[in-house]
Amino acid sequence: MRFEPILIEHKPDLVLVVGDVNSTLACSLVAAKLHIPIAHVEAGVRSFDRGMPEEINRVVTDALADLLFTPSREADANLAHEGIAPEKIHFVGNVMVDTLLDAVELAAQRQTWLKWNFKPHEYAVLTLHRASNVDEINTISEIMSALSQVTTYLPILFPIHPRTSKRLVEANLDNKVQSIPGLILSEPLGYLDFLCLLSQAKMVLTDSGGIQAETTMLDVPCLTLRWNTEWGVTIAQGTNVLVGTDHDRIIEEAKRILEGHGKQGSRPELWDGNTAQRIATILKRF
């Protein structure tokens, strides 16, 4: 409702939307109904799980878009399978990688790990925020039980998402989680501090899509606490392993990393820091 008057007033040549959040879909709907062309950055990624609100946002946005900027060949194939015209699809790489490569040296200078007296490669990082993990008491309990085993080997820093914190309190699990030895809770962190911690971690455990991509770029082993992922390229080519929320699998894969057998990966095609330039060139031509 707030976006529509802006488009009517300014009459843009094109609306550029990014990712898969609710505002991505909302702005796409408004633009489509006003007959303004739409470009979607991060098009074509799919988890094939319609239970995720983000998946609905991706599919509908891609159906409405006139330019679809994809981060992987896999995303191209997904769009082709959905009947998107090939002339709309542009493989450009991952724009998140542009940001990461631009910031990684600056982030390293912060030495954020010192705040918790960590040593590089002797700690892990955890993030949890997805409803499928934090809204189900049995699921979050199983994850935390597994992590309590992992923390006997190395500390885990847990910058806790406000949504997750709220759910733990509602489920009367907050004190139990806080009492796990070696699990260190912190406030949410800024991008540079978080990137610094990721880059020097022994491993990362997460249910975030973006962090799966970042750990692949940083060559840090990543255990994804989900049963599916929209970033299949990080499994096929990167350092990412899907472990779901299975107690024994989490411990098994964590031990594999601790023993020096973490998954090795390579940088996916066109994840080179020049994605924004490629997008700008195509937009100019359009």
Residue ranges, the chain, pLDDT below 50: none
Give residue-wise pLDDT tens across range 176-198. 999 999 999 999 999 999 999 99
> Three-class SS string for 47-116?
CCCCCCHHHHHHHHHHHHCCEEEECCHHHHHHHHHCCCCHHHEEECCCHHHHHHHHHHHHHHCCCHHHHH
Strand partners, 163: none
Q: According to the model, what pLDDT value does residue 51 have?
A: 87
Q: At what angle do helices 53-64 and 22-33 cross, to 10 degrees?
A: 30
**Which are the catalytic amino acids?**
129
Tell me, yes or no, if the two domains 3-93+272-285 and 99-258 fold the same way.
yes
Q: According to the model, what pLDDT value does residue 263 have?
A: 93
Amino acid (one-letter) located at 6: I
Annotation: CATH topology of 99-258:
Rossmann fold (3.40.50)
Q: According to the model, what pLDDT value does residue 196 have?
A: 98
CATH class (in words) of the domain with range 3-93+272-285: alpha beta
Domain residue extents for the chain: 3-93+272-285, 99-258
Q: What is the pTM of this model?
A: 0.94
Q: According to the model, what pLDDT value does residue 99 have?
A: 97
